[in-house]
Amino acid sequence: MSWQREPRANGVAKILITEQELQRRIYELGKELDGHFGDRVPLFVGVLNGAVAFMTDLMRAMTIPVEIDFMATSSYGNSTTSSGVVRIIKDLNQPIDGRHLMVVEDIVDSGLTLRYLLEMLEARNPASITVVALLRKNKPDAVDVQVDFIGFDIPDEFVIGYGLDFAERYRNLPYVAVLDPSTIVDE
């Protein structure tokens, strides 16, 4: 192919995880999850919007049969810090009792979204819940929440790209980057 990606978009202070590093780790996670589920057919529960890039790459890194569904939550609005309020904007399309769920999150920050989501899913009596998060922030005050598989532990900085947004932008970057703080002031 003759095309080349732009090395850096406006608003990017530094690239934290390159496209190649992401894809390599996601391939590994896919193999680990193949082994984890074995003969069980997981129902992927993708948490919109952030998890879209990760989920589509992760499911293609797996060889066992999987099914997919999506939920949408909102905790941040257009701010850079968590409001602590989690709202369900879109629910799953199907009942999940007896199903083996694979909850796919892009990032665990305060942990509030995931905690709320897991409580809600558990109440619907699935056979099991496995949680995979691409990123987990190193945050001492984060709530204790189940995460079974993690792509990368990252420092507590505002990250964008590969599904993660600032004011709904930057989700399309193929890498994970730290947002330039001057972008926040300008918005």
Residues with catalytic function: 109
Burial of 185 by CB count in 10 Å (0-12 exposed, 13-18 middle, 19+ buried)? exposed
Q: Which CB, 25 or 40, lies closer to ligand PRP?
A: 25
Q: Does 108 interact with ligand PRP (rule: CB under 6 A)?
A: yes
Residues between 119 and 148 that touch ligand PRP (CB under 6 A): none
Mind spelling out the 3-state secondary structure of the chain? CCCCCCCCCCCEEEEEECHHHHHHHHHHHHHHHHHHHCCCCEEEEEEECCCHHHHHHHHHCCCCCCEEEEEEEECCCCCCCCCCCCEEEECCCCCCCCCEEEEEEEEECCCHHHHHHHHHHHCCCCCEEEEEEEEEECCCCCCCCCCCEEEEEECCCCEEECCECECCECCCCCCEEEECHHHHHHC
Closest-CB residue for ligand PRP?
50
Least gap, CB of 1 to ligand PRP (angstroms): 30
Q: For the chain, first and last CA: distance in Å?
A: 36
User: What phi and psi, each to the nearest 5 degrees, are found at residue 77?
Assistant: 60, -135
Q: Which CB, 30 or 49, lies closer to ligand PRP?
A: 49
Least gap, CB of 48 to ligand PRP (angstroms): 6
Q: Does 82 interact with ligand PRP (rule: CB under 6 A)?
A: yes
Least gap, CB of 131 to ligand PRP (angstroms): 12
Least gap, CB of 50 to ligand PRP (angstroms): 3
Q: Does 74 interact with ligand PRP (rule: CB under 6 A)?
A: yes
Q: Does 76 interact with ligand PRP (rule: CB under 6 A)?
A: yes
Q: Which CB, 59 or 164, lies closer to ligand PRP?
A: 164
Residues between 162 and 181 that touch ligand PRP (CB under 6 A): 165
Tell me the per-residue interface mask from 42 to 61 with ligand PRP, x by CB under 6 A, - otherwise: -----xxxx-----------
Task: Name the site residues for ligand PRP (rule: CB under 6 A).
Answer: 47-50, 73-76, 82, 105-114, 165
